[in-house]
Structure 1
Amino acid sequence: MRVYGLKNCDTCRKAMKALPSATLVDVRAEGVPDAVLQDAYDRFGQALLNTRSTTWRGLSEDERAQPELTLLRQHPALMKRPLITLGDKMFLSWSSEVESDLKAAL
């Protein structure tokens, strides 16, 4: 199980605390593999892009007009976090619902 997020993100820390066997992949330091990013985008679409982040607010209108996948490759911190992969399953964000769905999949 991999958790794609940021090591300083409170939500990612909560997910890691609940999932001690998971491996955290810091998207700022390591990025997200293209295959994983494409699969996540195919499943979640625009929900994968966090338009409430400070990174988003710092982008110009021209930058924001780029395709979502291009933006996510250039600015991995724009991804909604955490993105959790478990085999062929993916989970986006962290809530009690996601936690119960994930634990049911284990």
Structure 2
Amino acid sequence: MVLYGLKNCDTCRKALKLLPEAQFQDVRADGVPGDVLKSAYEVFGAQLLNTRSTTWRGLSDAERALDPLDLLAAHPTVMKRPLVDHDGQLYLGWNSDVQAALLG
């Protein structure tokens, strides 16, 4: 299981605390592998973009108009977090549905 997020994100820290077996990957430092990002966009579409983030608010209109995958590659902190890859199944966020699926 791999959890993609930010080390200073409270939601990511909560998820990591409950998923001690998860390998953490900081998207700011390490990015997200292109194939994982592409799969996540195919599954979640525009939900993958966190349009409430400070990074998003700081983007120019031209940057916001980029292809979402290019935007996420250039600015990984725009991705909604956490993104969890559990045996090829992707989960986005840390709501009760995701928690139920991952914690049993």
The TM-score, its normalising length taken from structure 2, stands at 0.97
Aligned residue-pair number: 104
How do residues 26-37 of structure 1 correspond to structure 2 at under 5 angstroms?
26-37=26-37
Matched, 1:97 2:85: no
My pick for the range that moved more, 94-103 or 49-58, is 94-103
1:95 shift after superposition: 1.4
Aligned residue type for 1:51: T
Percent identical residues: 59
1:77 shift after superposition: 0.2
How do residues 3-82 of structure 1 correspond to structure 2 at under 5 angstroms?
3-82=3-82
Instruction: State how far apart, in whole Å, the 2-side matches of 1:93 and 1:9 are.
Output: 12
Structure 2, unpaired ranges of 5+: none
Instruction: State how far apart, in whole Å, the 2-side matches of 1:90 and 1:103 are.
Output: 14
Task: Output the aligned Cα RMSD.
Answer: 0.7
Structure 1, unpaired ranges of 5+: none
Instruction: State how far apart, in whole Å, the 1-side matches of 2:33 and 2:18 are.
Output: 24
